[in-house]
């Protein structure tokens, strides 16, 4: 679960490229992750927020598809 979450987090907020931090490193709130592409410092908290928003959107999309499937079945 933790690994999965972190995979979503690892996108640079500035250039959108994948953040290649140390794979074994456990990032915590307040940490800064430097992007090797544009050399901007990504704030871990912001990355987490973005990932959370993205996650919510994906869950919502999934729910919509499932609900429409259910409705189609119900009205057959």
Question: Smallest distance from the beta carbon of 39 to Zn ion, in angstroms?
Answer: 7
Is 17:63 a contact under the CB 8 Å cutoff?
Answer: no
Question: Smallest distance from the beta carbon of 16 to Zn ion, in angstroms?
Answer: 7
For Zn ion, the closer CB: 14 or 62: 14
For Zn ion, the closer CB: 18 or 53: 18
For Zn ion, the closer CB: 6 or 12: 12
Say how many Å lie between the first and final Cα of the chain, rounded. 38
Question: Smallest distance from the beta carbon of 36 to Zn ion, in angstroms?
Answer: 8
Question: At 66, which helix (H) or strand (E)?
Answer: helix 44-74
DSSP 10: -
Sole residue written with tokens 């307040």 = 30
Query: Which positions touch Zn ion (CB under 5 A)?
Result: 12, 14-15, 35, 37-38
């Amino acid at each position: 679960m933790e690994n999965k979450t972190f995979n979503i987090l690892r996108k640079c907020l500035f250039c959108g490229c994948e953040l290649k931090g140390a794979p074994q490193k456990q990032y915590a709130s307040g940490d800064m992750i430097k992007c090797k592409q544009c050399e901007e410092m990504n704030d871990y908290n912001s990355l987490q927020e973005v990932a959370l928003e993205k996650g919510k959107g994906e869950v919502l999309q999934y729910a919509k598809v499932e609900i429409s499937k259910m409705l189609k079945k119900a009205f057959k």
